[in-house]
Amino acid sequence: NAGVTQTPKFQVLKTGQSMTLQCAQDMNHNSMYWYRQDPGMGLRLIYYSASEGTTDKGEVPNGYNVSRLNKREFSLRLESAAPSQTSVYFCASSYQAQETQYFGPGTRLLVL
């Protein structure tokens, strides 16, 4: 039982490049989330998926897209990376939206 896994662990991009961050959970959870964490700030919600087939914007969605590929997987895509997107990205999941969230180890992204 791996919990929530994220790939890659670390990535360096040039401005304008695109990439997809992958997230998977093996806990049969219905809801999944993407957060970013910047120095001196708490985690901020980018997008969430309440259930398979639905996605909604969180607090800071600009510059990102998401795909809930199936119940297990929830990916985050940067179409044209910008230095302002340099951050640590966390994926999380919960059985239902109102319940405890379980987090992955994070992806550290550097955009030059």
Partner 1 sequence: GDSVTQMEGPVTLSEEAFLTINCTYTATGYPSLFWYVQYPGEGLQLLLKATKADDKGSNKGFEATYRKETTSFHLEKGSVQVSDSAVYFCALKMGTYKYIFGTGTRLKVLA
Q: Which residues bind partner 1 (CB under 8 A)?
A: 3-4, 33, 40-45, 48, 50, 56, 58, 90, 92, 97-98, 100-106
**Contact criterion met (CB below 8 Å) for 34 and 91:** yes
Retrieve residue 49's tokens. Answer: 């998926």
**Shortest Cβ 104–partner 1 spacing (Å):** 5
**Shortest Cβ 58–partner 1 spacing (Å):** 8
**Contact criterion met (CB below 8 Å) for 33 and 23:** no
Identify which of residues 79 and 99 has a Cβ nearer to partner 1 in the complex: 99
Identify which of residues 10 and 110 has a Cβ nearer to partner 1 in the complex: 10
Identify which of residues 29 and 106 has a Cβ nearer to partner 1 in the complex: 106
Identify which of residues 6 and 85 has a Cβ nearer to partner 1 in the complex: 6
Cα angle, residue 68 at apex, residues 90 and 22 outer, rounded to 5°: 40
Write the CB contacts of 66 (distance below 8 Å, at least 6 apart in sequence).
34, 46, 47, 49, 55, 74, 75, 76, 77
